Structure 1
Amino acid sequence: MLDPYERSAEFLDLLIAGTWQSLGPALGEVLQQVRAGSGPVADVGAGTGRGVRAICAALPGDDPVLAVEPSSVMRAVLLARVHEAPELRERVTVLAQDAAHASLPDGLRAIVAVNVLGHLPPDERRFLWESASRRLAPGGALIVSVTPPFVPERIPRTRMATATVGALHYEGWATAEPSGADEITWRMDYRVLRDGLPLSEVAVDYRWWVASEGQLAEEAAEAGLVMRAAGKPDLGLQLLTRQGE
């Protein structure tokens, strides 16, 4: 399968840095709500490792962190980030797997899947709910992010992020079109400019599955999980625990 990140990985970590300035601390606060006191933490769809860094900062100690990332180009940035930081290098194991095939152990303190659900078709989403229900330690939790759009709809072209490094300015633009009963296709345009003049542009399409919070909560309930909002509403973080815990 073609990896869309082969063309966009150059820009992604740079352009998501601003988002993680608020998302990282918020994720840390939600992790503090998890009642399980110890055990490994899995970051499924770890990307370039900004979430891994937030997890380790929020949960100091030596409990292992499993960073699951299927894209080799994203994993290259992730592994470099882990290796260059001693506090990460001693705890974090990087796994070249995806959410549906990750070899996760039992007794997990938490599973983190931030900015991941849209990558998963409905059957793989249900696998995530069922895996969490089986693998979490008592009091453990699955943490996901749920953000719009919740139905297939057109998203007008919007500048999502910018950054400047040296003499070059980087921009990320997004638009989306419905492409199925429960999916959209994102078109991402990454531009590099110097003195206001374009040097290069890369366009990448991403397939993205959409679902409402209610639909996701119903799916999770079928696997014995209860979903509730956690943290600032605009970030869309949701905490899922087993029924009765």
Structure 2
Amino acid sequence: MTNAEAMPAKNDSYRNYTKVAEFYPLSLQSFSQSEQMFRQELGRLAPIGGPVLDIGSGTGRTVLAIAETLPVVEIIAVEPSTTMRAVLMHRVMQDRDLRQRVTIYSDPIHAVPLPEKLGAVVAYGVLGHFDRDERQHLWRRLIPKLEAGAPMFVELLPIGKPMDFEQKLVEGEQIGRRSYEAVYSGKAEQGDLMRIKARWRISGGGGPPCVIENTNFWHTFTLEELAQETGLRLQRLTPESGMLFS
């Protein structure tokens, strides 16, 4: 496959989440340790003065973790996917405190207005959507805004280089009368790019089984390579997550 064929779908990544947004909380169970360590390390840094920027907030997993761990900090949540953002907005609207502290942006991160200083940056499950040039542009914008010693929390897929794989991520998760299963498969594309396919099978409850498939793209690199890119030091939290700091 040529770049010309692959890139239009890659650049459509925000809309690519639409088909499977409802299953996102199920797939996140595999990253529970990552969230636990994130909360633990974030809590050790309290108090944080400046706002916390959350890139790729999704349905609100990291926003809630930040808000609960740092009870007074302002949160800037960036989520371009309309479907994901609808769930995030619903969560924020249910809580008076969150409505006062969380600002939600629908724009891609490069178009979001940022404050002069940031107390921390969170980028969980999102950086692989950016190629190296896009990441370098991001670092030039973000790193000068980090307060002295302020961290960047990052989470990647546990895949350091392109590879072909197939893995059952969710198996027989029961919700009411229906059962949910998910198989993820990956295929190496050109350079550091991977094509990742999610196949969800929903069955039970008296209705016929249905299958929902979704394809996305992910640039592969390691946490160590990310530290080299940014010029920051790395403290690994889990196999797929870490904290970068000066």
Tell me if TM exceeds 0.5: yes
Q: Deviation digits for residues 35-65 of structure 1, max 9, x if unmatched?
A: 773111111000000110001111112x210
CA-CA distance at 1:171 after TM superposition? 1.6
Equivalent residue in structure 1 for 2:105, among 95, 103, 114: 95
Aligned equivalents of 2:242, 2:142: Cα separation in 1: 14
Equivalent position of 1:39 in the other structure = 50
Contact 1:42 1:65 in 2 (8 A): yes
Question: Please, which of 120, 141, 149 is the counterpart of residue 159 of structure 2?
Answer: 149
TM-score by length of 2: 0.87
Structure 1: state its 5+ residue gaps: none
Indicate whether 1:241 and 2:238 are aligned.
no
1:160 is matched with which residue? 169
- Aligned-residue sequence identity (percent) comes to 30
3-state secondary structure, aligned to 1:171: strand
Q: What root-mean-square deviation, in Å, do the aligned CA atoms of Structure 1 and Structure 2 show?
A: 2.1
Query: Deviations along 1:200-243, whole A, 9 cap, x unmatched?
Result: 1111111110113332222111xxxx131243x33x3222223x
* Letter of the structure 2 residue corresponding to residue 132 of structure 1: L
Q: 1:5 and 2:17 equivalent?
A: yes
Deviant stretches of 4+, over 6 Å: none
SS of corresponding position for 1:11: helix
Q: Distance in 1 between matches of 2:224 and 2:31?
A: 26
Q: Structure 2 vs 1, CA of residues 20 and 79 (structure 1 numbering), >3 Å: closer, same or farther?
A: farther
1:15 alignment partner AA: S
1:26 to 1:192, Cα distance in 2 relative to 1, 3 A: same
Amino acid aligned to 2:62: G
Which structure carries more helix by proportion? 2
In structure 2, relative to structure 1, the CA distance for the partners of 1:21 and 1:149 (3 Å cut) is closer
Q: 1:35 to 1:137 in 2, by over 3 A?
A: farther
Equivalent in the alignment of 1:72: 82
Q: Distance in 1 between matches of 2:47 and 2:146?
A: 9
Give the superposition deviation at 1:146.
3.5
Q: Tell me the CA shift for residue 23 of structure 1.
A: 2.9
Residue 107 of structure 1: SS of its match in structure 2?
coil
Change in Cα spacing, 1:4 to 1:165, as seen in structure 2 (3 Å) is: same
The unaligned stretches of length 5 or more in structure 2 are: 1-10
The one-character-per-residue Cα deviations of 1:86-105 (angstroms, maximum 9, x if unpaired) are 33222111111223322221
Contact 2:47 2:70 (8 Å CA) reproduced: no
Give distance in 2, aligned partners of 1:239 and 1:22.
14
Contact 1:193/1:199 (CA < 8 Å) preserved in 2?
yes
1:96-150 Cα offsets, whole Å, 9 max, x none, are 1223322221211001001111111111211222222121122211111134211
For each residue in 1:57-86, what CA deviation from the matched residue of structure 2 results, as whole angstroms up to 9, or x when unmatched? 11112x210110011111001111111123
CA distance in structure 2 between the aligned counterparts of 1:171 and 1:87, rounded to whole angstroms? 36
Following superposition of structure 1 onto structure 2, how do residues 184-195 of structure 1 map, counting pairs within 5 Å? Answer: 184-194=194-204
